[in-house]
Amino acid sequence: MGIDGSLAAEQRQQALLGILRSTGRVEIADMAEQLDVHPMTIRRDLKALEREGSARLVRGGAVLVGTAGFDVRRARALSAKKRIAEKLVPVVRRHESIGIDASTTILSLVEVMPEVEHLLVVTYGVQAFQALGTRPGIKTFLSGGELDPRTGSLVGPVGQRTLEGFSLSCCILSTSALDPELGTMEPTVEEVGMKQALARSADRVVLALDSTKLALRSTVRSLTLDQISTMVTELDPADERLDPFRAHVELI
């Protein structure tokens, strides 16, 4: 196998960036085989993407830096998101007022929201607000704010003040990444501000995320583990991948 293969460096890097935007992560060994080059070539390409701020090297590969489009994110880990949504339905039934974020994971919950007699929902997610708008028994409030084209959500101080004006029994949030020491992390300061505002407005914080997020880091720290009451993944609560979090949060 040649060190550089048949594709020029710029072509390889664009190919790698396309895959990163689609999946959120690439593995060096897989990309070396797919592009028919030496693994060191892929590592150099990923370092070039890291220098320009598009990727961050992690063990064995790289992860995307920044925010992929909503439709791209929605297509990721679909089966895991559906399982998480199923687990969250009983959580929703126990509350009369909840806050939800603008993530695609929480949108999966919105799509299977149970029938209720009375439920107040507050969100800064335009898609979630629209999906809940016609559901009987659910009164939905959309925060104000500025539309962030990177995430498709409403952000900013106006939205934060709106969220903090509610007193909610629970908020259900997802995250871009979770670290056992650093807590949740997001790609933008604006997204962090909205999630922190929801957390401040709620008595309990439920974190919902698929297991791929357990191996990732993002740019801006958001919530610490002691702010989170319950964590919901698609995994069995006894799964060893959840061991670093077991002493800190309830696992579902």
The pLDDT, as a whole number, for residue 162 is: 96
Q: Is residue 2 part of a domain?
A: no
Task: Judge if 25 and 79 occupy the same domain.
Answer: no
Residues of the chain with pLDDT under 50: 1-6
Beginning with the edge strand found earlier in the chain, give each strand of the sheet holding 55-58 in spatial order. Answer: 25-27, 61-64, 55-58
The pLDDT, as a whole number, for residue 134 is: 83
Domain that holds residue 238: 72-251
Task: Judge if 233 and 171 occupy the same domain.
Answer: yes
- How many structural domains comprise the chain? 2
CATH, residue 101: 3.40.50.1360
The pLDDT, as a whole number, for residue 76 is: 60
The pLDDT, as a whole number, for residue 145 is: 94
Q: Is residue 179 part of a domain?
A: yes
Count CB neighbours of 39 within 10 A: 17
Q: How many helices, marked H, and strands, marked E, lie in the chain?
A: 9, 15
* Burial class of residue 133 (count of CB atoms within 10 Å of its CB; 0-12, 13-18, 19+): exposed
Task: Judge if 148 and 204 occupy the same domain.
Answer: yes
3-state helix, strand, coil in the chain (%, to 5): 45, 20, 35
What tens digit of pLDDT does each residue of 100-124 get?
Answer: 999 989 999 999 988 888 999 999 9
Q: Is residue 77 part of a domain?
A: yes
At which of 38, 65, 92 does a domain end?
Answer: 65
Per-residue DSSP letter, 3: S
Task: Judge if 61 and 76 occupy the same domain.
Answer: no
The pLDDT, as a whole number, for residue 66 is: 59
The pLDDT, as a whole number, for residue 3 is: 38
Q: For residues 106, 108, 109 and 111, what is the CA-based torsion angle, rounded to 10 degrees?
A: 130
What tens digit of pLDDT does each residue of 203-214 get?
Answer: 999 999 999 888
The pLDDT, as a whole number, for residue 8 is: 83
| CA 75 to each of CA 4, 23, 55: distance values in angstroms, whole numbers, following the listed order | 32, 9, 20
